[in-house]
């Protein structure tokens, strides 16, 4: 990769970097593409931070582009986030909310219900959520717990890194 990387991608920007961009990386497979996008964004005055899963080679790949601020998702797991997600979700289920009410569920401005419903439908390959079916109800319960966890994780990352911009190369399905 070193030999084929155009020189402009290795250059440091001339202007001061007064903003932060957080690139949420999909890992080593997409690091080359994300590195190129990162260099383009850096040219607009952004300091590049990358959030990715741990991989012993990922830092080396990004370093080829001069990107050295790498944050591993695993390092954020040490924070004591809200831990009783099951109780929280069970309390919601005790209210006997309809599928539509779950879909509209929001917390801290995040569409938790939409994320959970969308994830449920993608995992089960179903076109709708029917809470009266026991298997669907349990699977949706699990996706709702994961949605609350993801929200807290994202808030912790944002609070720690304080990016001005978040950039994601999404090659597949996204809810928005």
Q: Quote the pTM value.
A: 0.77
Q: Given a cut of 80, is residue 120 above it in pLDDT?
A: yes
List the alpha helices (DSSP H) in 43-167.
58-63, 73-76, 85-94, 99-103, 112-124, 134-161
Q: pLDDT of 64-111, one tens digit each?
A: 999 999 999 888 876 655 568 889 999 999 999 999 999 999 999 999
Q: How confident is the model at residue 129 (pLDDT cuts 50, 70, 90)?
A: confident
Residue 158 confidence (pLDDT): 93
Residue 116 confidence (pLDDT): 94
Instruction: Using alpha carbons, select from 142, 138, 98 the residue that is nearest to residue 116.
Output: 142
Q: pLDDT of 131-171, one tens digit each?
A: 999 999 999 999 999 999 888 888 989 999 999 999 988 76
DSSP strand pairing (69-72 vs 19-24): unpaired
Q: Which residues of 8-47 are buried (b: 16+ CB within 10 A; e: fewer)?
A: ebeeeeeeeeeebbbbbbbebebbbebbebbbebbeeebb
């Amino acid at each position: 990769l070193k030999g084929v990387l155009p020189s402009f991608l290795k250059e440091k920007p001339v202007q001061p970097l007064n903003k932060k961009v957080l690139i949420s990386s999909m890992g080593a497979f997409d690091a080359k593409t994300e590195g190129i996008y990162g260099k383009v964004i850096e040219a607009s005055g952004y300091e590049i931070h990358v959030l990715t899963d741990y991989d012993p080679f990922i830092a080396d790949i990004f370093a080829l582009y001069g990107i050295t601020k790498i944050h591993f998702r695993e390092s954020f797991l040490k924070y004591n986030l809200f831990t009783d997600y099951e109780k929280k979700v069970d309390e919601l289920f005790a209210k006997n909310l309809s599928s539509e009410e779950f879909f509209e569920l929001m917390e801290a401005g995040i569409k938790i219900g939409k994320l959970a419903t969308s994830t449920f439908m993608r995992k089960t390959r179903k076109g709708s959520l029917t809470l009266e079916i026991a298997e669907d109800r349990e699977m949706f319960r699990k996706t709702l717990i994961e949605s609350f966890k993801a929200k807290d994780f994202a808030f912790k990352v944002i609070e720690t890194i304080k990016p001005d911009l978040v950039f994601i190369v999404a090659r597949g399905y996204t809810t928005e």
